[in-house]
Amino acid sequence: MKKLIGLISIMLLIVLSVLGCSAKTDPISINNSEKIKNIKLTDAEDESIQLSLFFDDSKDEEKAQVTVEERVIIKEELLGELIVQELIKGPTTTSQLKPIFPKDTRLLSFSVSDNIAYINLSKEVVSKTTKAQEEACLKALALSLCQLQEITSIKILVENKDIVTLGGNYDITKPFSPETIQLVNSK
């Protein structure tokens, strides 16, 4: 239970940090910036959380019965998924920041394998954008996810398929990091 509370606290800090990432100098922003620097997963050895989920196991319509099913959730995947969901939501309404994804974009799945975050997005993410808009989207996504220890690069899929580009400007056929984003047809 303490681990679950700890994870929820960490997720809350990440959400607050993502929502408050503007360059402000007020005391609250400074305090939040210091908290962001100190965010680390608890118990680095314990990379997963075991949950007990209860589902309907009723065999008789008159008598309700539930049975436990154990699940193991990888912390980095949970946090990565949360980060992408928050990026899809966009900046706060009081912020002067702009969203990086088109309005109806959805996260279909998220996983981490061999230090690569695989982000499977809905087809709404593909739209004609300026070079600067697409670069901002890719950098924001890569920088946000690569702050997690287990993620060094990201790979974007759309509807479970590899695509060449999100907006016509940058090549996303291979996993990339914030430093390795490449224009389409550039070597």
DSSP class of 45: T
pLDDT of the residue at 121: 98
DSSP lists the bridge partners of residue 50 as 72
**Closest by CA position to 150, among listed 107, 110, 117:** 117
**Closest by CA position to 125, among listed 142, 100, 97, 91:** 100
pLDDT of the residue at 144: 96
Helical H segments across 38-130, by residue range: 75-89
Helical H segments across 52-129, by residue range: 75-89
pLDDT of the residue at 171: 93
In a structure prediction context, what are the per-residue pLDDT tens digits for the chain, which is 187 residues long?
666 666 676 766 676 565 555 444 444 445 545 544 444 444 446 788 888 989 898 898 888 989 999 988 888 899 999 999 999 999 998 889 999 999 899 999 999 999 999 999 999 999 999 999 999 999 999 999 999 999 999 999 999 999 999 999 999 999 999 999 877 765 4
Q: DSSP secondary structure string, 122-147?
A: -GGG-----HHHHHHHHHHHHHHHTT
DSSP class of 60: B
DSSP class of 93: T
**Closest by CA position to 87, among listed 97, 77, 74:** 97
d(CA 13, CA 41): 12
pLDDT of the residue at 155: 98
d(CA 4, CA 169): 42
Strand, helix or coil at 120?
A: strand
